[in-house]
Amino acid sequence: MSKIISLHGKNSSLILATTEENLPQIVYWGKLLNLSETEQQQLVSQLVQPVPQAYLDKPVAITLLPTLGDGAFQASALAGTNLQQAWAPQFKLNIIEQIDQHSIRLIADDQIAQLQVKLNLSLNKYDVLEQTIELINLGDKDYSLDNLSLSLILPAEINQIIQFHGRWIHEFQTQQSTWDQPNYYVENLKGRSSNDNPALLMLCETGCSEQNAAVYGFHLAWSGNHQYKLISLNDGRRLVQFAEKLLPGEIILTKHASYITPTLYASYSAAGFNGISANFHSFIRHSSQFIPHVLPYRPIHFNTWEAMYFEHDLTKMAQLIDRAADIGVERFILDDGWFKARNHERAGLGDWFIDQQKYPAGLTPIIEHVKRRGMQFGLWFEPEMVNPDSDLFRAHPEWMLQIQGYTQPLGRYQYVLNLALPEAYAYIHQCIYALLSTHEIGYIKWDMNRDLVQAGNCNNQPSVHQQVLAVYRLLAQLRQEFPALEIESCASGGARADLGILRYTNRVWTSDCNDALERQNIQRSFSYFFPPEIMGSHFGPEQAHTTNRLATLEYRILTNFFGHLGFEQNLLELTDAECQQLSFYLDLYKRYRQLIHSNQLIRLDSNDAGQNVYGVIDATQTQGLFAIAQNGFPTQMLAGKLRIPNLNPQFNYRLKLLNIQENTGYLMKEKPSICIGEVIMSGRLLTQIGVQLPIMHPQSILLLLIEHIK
């Protein structure tokens, strides 16, 4: 007997169908669709598929867990063996538990293979679909799991692929291509989310844009190895599969042991890429799964790294503290170099004790100075790593992830500690706990600067999976012990940015690149899945350290407005005039950060390839703030009009530039009205026709305020 199961979000629905004892298959995922009983019966009648010649005699349904044993050849989502048996199971559904209109739980067994699966699906009120599978070994023999994928089916018209890739200082690059091959496969084996192949994906129909057409977004919440496959099915539909990438022998299930997949978060929107962002941003902001911000606002950071590197000098430190406070910084973070023997990157990691030569009185005088100037104090750690030149490594070389008998490759002159080893875990926890419990430290910058190679445990078994879980466990323990503590996820830039780590951290360091031009692209792509207040976005020096590119102060500071703002520059190099200019912009940021950090981010389409336009409109449609970034040379000689969505057509609005372009005489003989003073326009005109923009220099930004006139 067939059954229809429907899950509903706010604007979308997922409809499943089961036949006999089979696991459900997806028959619809798209716009909100409430079926009547008659329509459900009609849908059941359409479940019978034709069977082509030269094929199996019965149709093979691609279920939520397609298997090789059922004839789902390329689509098989489970691989494993029980002493060369149980390698082609067939699961029979025995429990369907519809928890509410949003959630369902399914249990299926294979009595021959002695395996059980529990599938959990939830389509929440933010239109984000959450999916996990638990596999349980019911037999006496150990079961070696090779792969367990989460599977979702999309309509055949979805034929555009937007992938995310990159490298250090060039993260979150996007590539759009047409789905014109039968299969695509992407994997990451670096032991962290990675900056070259993060587990992020968007799929859409032809003609999709920021504001229009159907889009599906996918994000695997896992901070380790992962893979995804894109498969064209026989009937033209699209199959998407995400999984943790397991190393050989990494997951061995003893009797009654189980493995739970990372959660796959996926979302549908008919409103283009902005719709996907709105769903994910709302979910991250409001779901209890993620860590709320301790403070009601995001403090402006100053980080000491590019100002001091390893050369910590108390006089210079005091000057930096005063300069930071004077221009309006709210949190002062002491980066790498504060602990024992840390005079360069080749020594000291693992010895988390204050360097008595650099800080003979400890950190307390520095922290008290920071607090007196009205700022919070934060501290840098890299707890998962150890240098060979350290007391810790000399005492416990067996604590690192390694395979005995091989020479472990170094990365950044460091090894990775095996935090799944209780002794190593306890040592690192105690080091951090001691510092946090004896000092007023409100913030940790938690870094992780290398990929995992030969990540073996004490028995030489692969241990990436256990390492990720140990990191999660350590973060959770510290959060429980210090509830007011905020933690940043940093991994040589944005190499650990995922919804797994964000269950334990408040912020992501997006990239080690502070070049404003590069940041424009990095931050735009980052914003597809992550809201602005999570995005670490820092002002850097006039000449960027990572690219040598020059940029004006205004372009650098305004590039970072729509994120969590901070500083990475040596503030002592700034002139008095530059400090005054920065103070002005920091006051402006403080005035509007709540607007930016609590409303839907909107990216606008532009026919100018060098232009990036983005902003927010509040929920009451009474206030908005937009950035018009002219990053490259304008495509057209004359600038176009800016059409602003999400406004009330019946309201009148006042538009005002919060910064004024300089040296524009070479660009325009006559300026548009927005450059001269305030402009008054109705919401209908602004949305349908728009406001005339000026011609802009490359690498310049306009900040436009929009306010309802009552």
Alpha carbons 296 and 287: distance in angstroms, whole number: 17
Chain centre to alpha carbon of residue 152: 21
Task: Spell out the residues 6+ positions from residue 432 whose beta carbon is closer than 8 angstroms to its own.
Answer: 352, 381, 383, 444, 478
CA 546, 382, 507, 527 dihedral sign is positive
Alpha-carbon separation of residue 336 from 342, 354, 676 (angstroms)? 8, 11, 47
- Note whether 681 and 628 are within 8 A (CB): no
Three-class DSSP category at 636: coil
Question: What is the token pair recorded at 690?
Answer: 């728009």
Alpha carbons 531 and 557: distance in angstroms, whole number: 19
- Sheet arrangement for strand 25-31: 3-8, 12-18, 25-31
- Which residue from 381, 371, 387 is spatially nearest to 435, judged by alpha carbons? 381
Residues paired with 294 in a beta bridge: none
- Which residue from 180, 183, 188, 196 is spatially nearest to 240, judged by alpha carbons? 183
- Note whether 26 and 64 are within 8 A (CB): yes
Q: For Cα atoms 340, 341, 342, give the angle at the middle one, nearest 5 degrees.
A: 90
* Residue whose entry in the numeric block shows the structure tokens 């991250």: 284
Enumerate the active-site residues.
447, 512
Question: What is the token pair recorded at 197?
Answer: 């192949």
Alpha carbons 672 and 661: distance in angstroms, whole number: 12
- Note whether 457 and 426 are within 8 A (CB): no
Alpha-carbon separation of residue 670 from 654, 664, 696 (angstroms)? 22, 10, 13
Question: What is the token pair recorded at 28?
Answer: 């619809």
Bridge-based pairing state of the strands 385-386 and 415-416: antiparallel
Task: Spell out the residues 6+ positions from residue 428 whose beta carbon is closer than 8 angstroms to its own.
Answer: 352, 383, 384, 417, 419, 474
Alpha carbons 661 and 450: distance in angstroms, whole number: 42
Buried b or exposed e, range 105-124, using 16+ CB within 10 angstroms: ebbbbbeebbbbbbbbbbbb
Bridge-based pairing state of the strands 700-708 and 385-386: unpaired
Alpha carbons 469 and 518: distance in angstroms, whole number: 33
Question: What is the token pair recorded at 566?
Answer: 């901070």
- Note whether 538 and 568 are within 8 A (CB): yes
Three-class DSSP category at 143: strand
Annotate 181-203 with DSSP letters as a single string.
SSEEEEEE-SSS--SSS-SEEEE
DSSP type of residue 261? P
On the 0-12 / 13-18 / 19+ scale of CB atoms within 10 A, 66 is buried
Alpha carbons 628 and 610: distance in angstroms, whole number: 11
Alpha-carbon separation of residue 193 from 371, 381, 401, 406 (angstroms)? 35, 19, 18, 26
